[in-house]
Amino acid sequence: MYNRYRDRVRTIILCIKGYTDSTAGFNCGSLGYNSTVVDMSKKDGKKKLEELKVKIENKEKINYLDLIFLPLMNSDQEISEIWRDYKMVRIFKYAEEQGEKKGERKLFKTLVKGNFEGSDEAN
């Protein structure tokens, strides 16, 4: 990754209950490696879920990483319920994309019909 992007590479280890936030690594003189350990159970999953629901209801963009990491966060929600909500977001997004495509097709047909006499309404 460093050769491709010429930027520092960071490793973040996401853990659930029982691990404390800290750093882990080793130093071998000219070679060293450090990582950051994050206890995801300290994050408020219930609050994050509510924020996501509000954004979805308001048709705002959401960060899908928040949904992906939600099951690791502290919450009284069942994981299956969280993933059901995620699936519904994907279904709505798909439906919206299909609606836009149909709208584009209808506009294209209208433009074509308006420019050619005798065009067939059924096409």
> What pLDDT is stored for residue 35 in this prediction?
87
Asked if the model's pLDDT at residue 70 lies above 80, the reply is yes
The whole-angstrom separation of Cα 96 and Cα 61 is 13
Cα–Cα distance for residue pair 7/21, rounded to 1 Å: 24
pLDDT (mean) for 58-74: 86
Mean pLDDT score, 24-42: 84
pLDDT of residue 58: 92
What is the residue range of 77's domain?
A: 44-123
One domain, residues 7 and 52:
no
Is 80 exceeded by the pLDDT of residue 34?
yes
For residue 51, the model assigns a pLDDT of: 92
Alpha carbons 123 and 114: distance in angstroms, whole number: 13
pTM of the model: 0.47
Q: What Cα–Cα distance (Å) separates residue 116 from each residue in 24, 119, 120?
A: 70, 6, 10
The secondary structure of residue 59, as a DSSP letter, is T
CB 106 within 8 Å of CB 123: no
pLDDT band at 81 (very low <50, low <70, confident <90, very high): low
At residue 46, the pLDDT reads 87
Shared-domain flag, residues 49 and 17 = no
What does the alpha-carbon distance between residue 50 and residue 105 come to, in Å, rounded to a whole number?
37
CA triple 72-77-83, angle to 5 deg: 70
Q: Do residues 21 and 65 both lie within one domain?
A: no
Indicate whether 14 and 58 sit together in one domain.
Answer: no
The pLDDT confidence band at residue 13, using thresholds 50, 70 and 90, is: confident
Q: Looking at the structure, do residues 59 and 118 belong to the same domain, yes or no? A: yes
Residue percentage of the chain with pLDDT more than 70: 69
